[in-house]
Amino acid sequence: MATPGKIIIISAPSGSGKSTIIRELTDTHHVPLTFSVSATNRPPRTGETDGVHYHFLSDEAFRSAIAADEFVEYEEVYPGRFYGTLKSEVERRSAAGENVLLDIDVKGGCRVKEMYADGALSIFIMPPGIDELRRRLEGRATDPQDAIEARLSKAAYEMEFAPRYDAVVVNDDLATASAEVARLITDFIAK
Ligand code: 5GP
């Protein structure tokens, strides 16, 4: 049987560049990782595919999965919007010797780290500061001002969880931050 793969948890406030860093881990730095596909009851966005970006479930199917104990963890990340890590995703991939990356929110991240302890590495991507985060979110021009304010106050709350992570990487320069995250994961996998 293959040696079980490692679990890598990455959390970050929105606007911190997390998605780009995660993409660079495999595309630029060739870190051997597989991605756990979470389940959610939010509807797919344009360009998202069921089973690839998320397992998109109805409210009822999500509730049934909770009742059937199918989740490692799940959280109501936004009001009425649930996201959960499926046991089937993590256990199957890890048992096959794959290193599994979980891109999950701060509460889920801390919970999974507690469960897997030394078998998991948790990394928090820190935006360079609230002012810079505001500039990035406003620069995206996708959200109305009240949504930006809500994201900023959520970001401030999420940043309080950073000390509970194994490592905190500040993203003030994307290339430097992604190289640092790649190094942390590569060292952890090699242990
Ligand atoms: P989005 O709707 O933008 O794809 O994701 C919103 C947030 O949900 C992100 O911060 C993401 O990290 C978090 N998230 C995605 N999947 C999971 C999961 O399985 N569990 C938890 N706790 N959070 C998740």
Task: Check whether 3 has a pLDDT greater than 90.
Answer: no
* Cα 139 to Cα 136: distance, rounded to the nearest angstrom: 5
The predicted structure's pLDDT at residue 15 = 85
User: Is the pLDDT confidence value at 50 over 90?
Assistant: yes
Question: pLDDT > 70: what percent of the chain?
Answer: 99
Give the pLDDT of residue 56. 98
Tell me, using a 6 A CB cutoff, whether residue 112 lines ligand 1. no
Average of per-residue pLDDT across 22-37: 96
pLDDT in the model for residue 1: 54
Mean pLDDT (the chain) is: 94
82 in ligand 1 pocket by Cβ < 6 Å? Answer: no
Q: What pLDDT sits at residue 2? A: 64
What does the pLDDT look like over 127-160, one tens digit per residue? Answer: 988 888 899 888 877 778 998 998 899 999 999 9
Which residue's alpha carbon is at the smallest distance from atom 15 of ligand 1?
Answer: 104
Q: How far is the CA of 98 from the centre of ligand 1 (A)?
A: 21
Q: Is the CB of 104 under 6 A from ligand 1?
A: yes
Tokens read off for 138: 């406003």
Q: Judge if the beta carbon of residue 167 lies within 6 A of ligand 1.
A: no
pTM of the model: 0.93
Nearest to 173 by CA among 138, 130, 125: 125
Whole-angstrom distance, CA of residue 7 vs CA of residue 18: 17
The pLDDT score that the predictor gives to residue 111 is 96
Contact 39, 57 (CB under 8 A): yes
The two structure tokens encoding residue 18: 């997390």
What's the helix, strand, coil split of the chain in %, to 5? 45, 20, 30
Work out the end-to-end distance of the chain between its first and last CA atoms, rounded to an integer number of angstroms.
19
pLDDT digits (tens, 9 = 90+) for 67-105: 999 999 999 998 999 999 999 999 999 999 999 999 999
Please state, in angstroms and as integers, the Cα–Cα distance from residue 6 to each residue in 24, 45, 48, 129, 148, following that order: 19, 30, 27, 31, 35
- Token pair for 167: 């490592």
Instruction: Please give the pLDDT value at position 158.
Output: 95
Q: 15-51 burial, b for 16+ CB within 10 Å, e for fewer?
A: bbbbeebbebbeeebebebebbbbbbbbeeeeeeeee
pLDDT value of residue 140: 78
- Does residue 87 have its Cβ closer than 6 Å to ligand 1? no
